[in-house]
């Protein structure tokens, strides 16, 4: 019976040593992460001084503009165009800046239940 207690005590001792070793590994990893963070922080640019902060333009804050745009058409030709032959295409300001409105009696959505366009 005495040998059973000794084996159990030896098992608990090994478990205790394993937990202490795991704790030491966790502490070492945390310290390493801290040191690495300090090194990275030292390499960063310093915080801008008050005179280096962004300022409002002289005309005040810039406001949002809203305009209607329409697509630029790609020219049609008999020959196939390669990308380097195309000029910069995108969109341009629409000739009419009037906002489109939905038809009377229409919900404005597909399948909205209205009678549709007339």
Distance from chain centroid for Cα 57: 28
Q: Is 23 a residue whose pLDDT tops 90?
A: yes
Q: Which two tokens stand for residue 105?
A: 């009696």
Whether residue 72 contacts residue 89, with contact meaning beta carbons closer than 8 Å, is answered with yes
Question: DSSP characters for 69-94?
Answer: EEEPPPPP-SSPPPGGGS----EEE-
Band of residue 34 on the pLDDT scale cut at 50, 70, 90: very high
Q: What does the pLDDT read at residue 4?
A: 58
**pLDDT tens string 77-91:** 788 878 777 766 678
pTM confidence score = 0.36
Q: Is 9 a residue whose pLDDT tops 60?
A: no
**Mean pLDDT for the chain overall:** 79
Whether residue 111 contacts residue 103, with contact meaning beta carbons closer than 8 Å, is answered with no
């Amino acid at each position: 019976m005495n040998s059973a207690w000794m084996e159990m005590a030896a098992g608990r001792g090994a478990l205790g040593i394993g937990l202490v070793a795991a704790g030491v590994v966790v502490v070492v990893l945390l310290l390493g992460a801290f040191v690495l963070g300090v090194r990275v922080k030292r390499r960063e640019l310093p915080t801008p001084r008050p005179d280096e902060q962004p300022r409002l333009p002289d005309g005040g804050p810039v406001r949002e503009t809203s305009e209607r745009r329409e697509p630029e058409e790609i020219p049609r030709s008999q020959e196939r165009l390669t990308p380097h032959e195309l000029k910069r295409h995108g969109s341009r300001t629409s000739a009419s800046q009037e906002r489109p409105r939905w038809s009377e009696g229409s919900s404005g959505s597909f399948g909205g239940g209205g009678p549709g366009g007339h």
